[in-house]
């Protein structure tokens, strides 16, 4: 009886190789991701003199406080066309205690310059300021964000954070420049102005947002754009977040212009927000805008900003969503001006000093002096 010893050897060799390959799949560790880690925060001082607001029964008074309001941990990682971002904020609330907020959680995939897809929680693509400046105050020229684009819990008028899908890209327009687009389908607004729908969409309806921008070749750094947003809000009538609810259809149209080159800082935005209360057959239009100008003269950067907000006269009666907005409750329809200076002491530390004057359309004024020490590591 003859045996094929060579064939048996080859068979055993293939068996060993197969076992080694299987072991490699089972026990091999994936390539370690390169994670970038940053820390942002600020320490502030603010003195406020409120001369009262008779129409809303706001009493006159003066306050002043030092604060250490926030500390942010910022993580990013990119592996080829795949990207990940997590922004965690330790922030002081009304009870003088720190709480933890997940401000952004994003997973992105870059198909090409013409299309990138992101999923998670992100800053909504409305206007320019909201997703150009995030939570680190170091990067802003001013102490605080313009009032109308502050975050939800600070009285801003827009849905600053959204949870859902975001697509964006850049389309070349020949020698004229580029057209950039952002398209989003996300959970809608919560039942109160300060609520972000991280887990549950109260009415199962989705918010739709589209932003278009033109970047002309002739003026490098200039951005001109507009956005349109549609949502249906199940607004809590008493501001508690609980029933009873009123259905409010919301349309937001915005325009913006920005130029941040050659040490020049120009950002201007306008918002038109229409709310329709179905049960009251009421439609109200809110308008807001700001213009921020600055010049980076090296170590010192002076800046000015003008703002305005106008709510319908019967907002409190017919619009339970904006009636519970912090901006409406504290300032109402108003105009304001900010003058200040920003000084970069190093690549990691910025000092700011500014004054603000607010005039309420229905009477009363607010005078604010603020200082900020913002860091980025």
Other CB atoms within 10 Å distance of the CB of residue 75: 13
Least confident interval from 3-12, 125-134, 149-158, 174-183: 3-12
Please state the rounded mean pLDDT for residues 156-164. Answer: 97
Please report the pLDDT score of residue 12 as a whole number. 52
Please report the pLDDT score of residue 299 as a whole number. 84
Beta strand residue intervals within the chain, DSSP E: 35-50, 61-79, 82-92, 98-112, 115-123, 161-172, 177-187, 206-216, 222-236, 245-259, 264-277, 282-295, 300-310, 334-344, 349-360, 365-376
Please report the pLDDT score of residue 40 as a whole number. 97
Please report the pLDDT score of residue 365 as a whole number. 94
Q: Record the pTM.
A: 0.88
Please state the rounded mean pLDDT for residues 167-188. Answer: 97
**H or E, element range at 5:** helix 5-27
Please state the rounded mean pLDDT for residues 196-214. Answer: 94
**H or E, element range at 324:** none
> Measured between alpha carbons, how far is 304 from 315 in angstroms, rounded to an integer?
30
77 neighbors 108 (Cβ within 8 angstroms):
no
| Six token digits for residue 328 | 């409406």
Please report the pLDDT score of residue 31 as a whole number. 57
Please state the rounded mean pLDDT for residues 201-230. Answer: 96
The better pLDDT of the pair 31, 284 is held by 284
Residue 6 has pLDDT above 90, yes or no: no
Least confident interval from 123-127, 198-202, 357-361: 198-202
Domain boundaries, the chain: 39-59+113-376
Residue 272 has pLDDT above 80, yes or no: yes
Work out the percent of the chain whose per-residue pLDDT is above 90: 80
User: pLDDT, tens digit, for every residue of 60-90?
Assistant: 789 999 999 999 999 999 999 999 999 999 9
Please report the pLDDT score of residue 297 as a whole number. 82
Please state the rounded mean pLDDT for residues 294-309. Answer: 93
Residue 170 has pLDDT above 50, yes or no: yes
Other CB atoms within 10 Å distance of the CB of residue 278: 11
Please report the pLDDT score of residue 32 as a whole number. 61
User: pLDDT, tens digit, for every residue of 52-61?
Assistant: 765 555 667 8
User: pLDDT, tens digit, for every residue of 231-247?
Assistant: 999 999 998 989 999 99
> Measured between alpha carbons, how far is 116 from 124 in angstroms, rounded to an integer?
15
Please state the rounded mean pLDDT for residues 99-114. Answer: 96
Least confident interval from 12-21, 108-117, 230-239, 341-350: 12-21
Please state the rounded mean pLDDT for residues 202-223. Answer: 95
Please report the pLDDT score of residue 87 as a whole number. 97
Examine residue 153 and say whether the peptide bond preceding it is cis (omega within 30 degrees of 0).
no
Please state the rounded mean pLDDT for residues 32-58. Answer: 84
Nearest of 214, 217, 221, 215 to residue 263 by alpha carbon: 221
337 neighbors 356 (Cβ within 8 angstroms):
yes
> Measured between alpha carbons, how far is 257 from 308 in angstroms, rounded to an integer?
17
Residues 6+ apart with CB under 8 A from 67: 43, 44, 45, 46, 92
Which one-letter DSSP state was computed for residue 127? Answer: T
Please state the rounded mean pLDDT for residues 138-165. Answer: 96
The better pLDDT of the pair 94, 187 is held by 187
Fold annotation for 39-59+113-376: Porin (2.40.160)
């Amino acid at each position: 009886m003859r045996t094929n010893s060579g064939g048996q050897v080859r068979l055993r060799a293939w068996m060993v190789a197969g076992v080694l390959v299987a072991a490699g799949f089972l026990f091999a560790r994936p390539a370690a991701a390169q994670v970038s880690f940053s820390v942002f925060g600020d320490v502030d001082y603010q003195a406020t003199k409120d001369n009262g607001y008779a129409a809303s029964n706001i009493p006159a008074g003066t306050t002043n406080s030092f604060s250490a309001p926030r500390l942010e941990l910022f993580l990013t990682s990119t592996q080829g066309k795949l990207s990940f971002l997590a922004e965690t904020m330790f922030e002081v609330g009304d009870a003088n205690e720190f709480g933890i907020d997940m401000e952004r959680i994003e997973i992105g995939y870059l198909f090409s310059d013409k299309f990138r897809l992101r999923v998670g929680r992100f800053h909504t693509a409305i206007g320019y300021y909201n997703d150009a400046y995030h939570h680190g105050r170091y990067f802003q020229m001013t102490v605080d964000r313009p009032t109308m684009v502050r975050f939800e819990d600070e009285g801003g008028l827009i849905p600053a954070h959204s949870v859902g899908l975001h697509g964006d890209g850049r389309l070349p327009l020949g020698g004229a420049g580029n057209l950039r687009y952002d398209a989003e389908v996300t959970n809608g607004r919560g039942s109160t102005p300060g609520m972000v729908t991280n887990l549950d969409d109260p009415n199962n309806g989705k918010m739709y947002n589209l932003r278009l921008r033109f970047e002309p070749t002739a003026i490098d750094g200039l951005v001109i754009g507009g956005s349109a947003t549609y949502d249906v809000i199940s607004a809590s009538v008493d501001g508690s977040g609980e029933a009873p609810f009123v259905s409010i259809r919301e349309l937001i149209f915005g325009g913006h212009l920005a130029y941040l080159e050659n040490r020049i800082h120009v950002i201007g935005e306008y918002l038109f927000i229409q709310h329709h209360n179905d049960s009251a057959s009421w439609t109200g239009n809110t308008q807001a805008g700001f213009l921020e100008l600055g010049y980076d003269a090296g170590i010192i950067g002076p800046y000015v900003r003008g703002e305005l907000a106008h709510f319908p006269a019967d907002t409190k009666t017919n619009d339970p969503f904006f009636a519970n907005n912090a901006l409406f409750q504290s300032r109402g329809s108003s105009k304001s001006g900010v003058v200040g200076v920003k000084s970069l002491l190093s690549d990691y530390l910025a000092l700011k000093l500014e004054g603000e004057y607010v005039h309420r359309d229905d009477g009363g004024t607010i005078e604010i002096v603020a200082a900020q020490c913002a860091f980025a590591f």
